[in-house]
Structure 1
């Protein structure tokens, strides 16, 4: 994947993810949900039907995985890093990081003090 294609995919996916967040806000009307859905579909169709469909799908899957199982994804990323990136391409590694950022899992978690 050429760098400019990757950058375009990442920008489009960031927009796609933001649209998804907007869709589920309590104040979003049914008409707005339909418009957002159409906007998302246009973005997804562009990538899912092109030569970089696998990269888009990997990023989308990583995004869902980070939302559903962040602890598992942290361990997976640590394993990938421990093994020098073996098993994933640079594009895939960057997709894992983008998905992590989009889900807010790149921010440190506050430490909870435990009773003594």
Structure 2
């Protein structure tokens, strides 16, 4: 996966998470027609983005990112941060390591303590940059 594709995947995944949050915030036992329509629009965009990545050439990377996000609550942050600092988290590729960090960043928006831990893990990895394809 080249750098541009990876950036686009990360942007789209963050958009999918925001859409899920918007859908959850607007959903309820009784919703107006306007809200129901907006839920349909949000749900359609959500499905379109996910389907595009899940069936495209980078489906494996997208699937790993979805899995990392879904499993985030089960991860041992202390061990994960130590592994990421040493550059090889449980045999994960560079893209997969960045997937785990992005999943944490998205979860951390709601948790100040987690946000500090993720920021530290990212700072510790700062010298290792994404290599651009030529």
TM over 0.5, shorter chain: yes
Contact 2:16 2:49 in 1 (8 A): yes
1:90 is matched with which residue?
A: 94
Tell me, in whole angstroms, the C-alpha distance in 2 between the residues paired with 1:30 and 1:73: 39
1:16–1:43: 8 Å Cα contact kept in structure 2? yes
SS of the equivalent of 2:41 reads helix
In the alignment, which of 32, 45, 48 is matched to residue 39 of structure 1?
45
1:108 aligned to which of 106, 109, 116: 116
- Cα-Cα RMSD: 2.2
Residue aligned with 1:31, SS:
helix
1:79, 1:48 → 2: CA distance? Answer: 31
TM-score, normalised with respect to structure 2: 0.69
User: Residues 59 and 95 of structure 1 are in contact (CA less than 8 Å); yes or no, is this contact kept in structure 2?
Assistant: yes
Gaps of 5+ in 1: 110-116
Give the aligned partner of residue 54 of structure 2: 48
Q: Give the C-alpha shift of residue 84 in structure 1.
A: 3.5
Contact 1:65–1:73 (Cα < 8 Å) also in 2: no
What SS does the aligned partner of 1:108 have?
Answer: helix
Query: What is the CA distance between 1:36 and its match in structure 2?
Result: 1.0
Describe the superposition over 1:38-83 as per-residue Cα deviations: whole angstroms up to 9, x where unpaired: 10111011111111001001111111112x43xx241452353366
Ranges of 4+ aligned residues in structure 1 off by more than 3 Å: none
